Amino acid sequence: MTVVNPYLNFEGKTEEAFNFYRSVFGGEFATIMRFKDIPDGVPKPEGDDAQKIMHIALPIGTSVLMGSDTPEAMGPLTKGNNFTVSIGAASEEEARIIYDGLSAGGTIEMPLEKAFWGALFGMFIDKYGVNWMISYDGQRF
């Protein structure tokens, strides 16, 4: 089943924000990955950015609130680009169909391909300026 989840971006406040969200909604984090955890050979932020959150997931009911910090190298956050719609596809074929369809006429940020964490993953901004992530890894998030 295809799932749609919000993905929030912060300037160094992801851990603080998600601890707050967890205090309100309850539950436990399903995933916490820091930029320092990126494997060798894959570009990664250094210095203070290495300790920041690369990905965090908090299940809330049947949805998952996800987020990350935005390293300075990715540019500043402004209202309107600090969130992404994340699609968890039900199959690799569905991921490709959704990615190809929604990215048409938009700007590719990451081609849809196998990521170092094992998922088929891609990112783009559609022709209307909406940020999207498409993923398939056989799980919900």
Pairing assessment for the beta strands 120-125 and 107-114 based on DSSP bridges: antiparallel
Q: What is the pLDDT of residues 66-125, one digit of tens each?
A: 999 987 777 777 766 788 899 989 899 999 999 999 999 999 999 999 999 999 999 999
Contact present, 79 and 129 (Cβ < 8 Å)? no
107 part of a folded domain: yes
42 part of a folded domain: yes
Q: What is the DSSP string of 82-103?
A: SEEEEEE-SSHHHHHHHHHHHH
- Between the alpha carbon of residue 99 and those of residues 34, 35, 68, 110, 133, the distances in Å are 26, 25, 21, 11, 8
Contact present, 18 and 67 (Cβ < 8 Å)? yes
Into how many domains does the chain fold? 1
141 part of a folded domain: no
23 part of a folded domain: yes
Give residue 139's pLDDT band: very low, low, confident or very high (50, 70, 90). Answer: low
For residue 55, give its domain range.
3-136
Whether the pLDDT of residue 17 is over 70: the answer is: yes
CATH number, domain of 131, equals 3.10.180.10
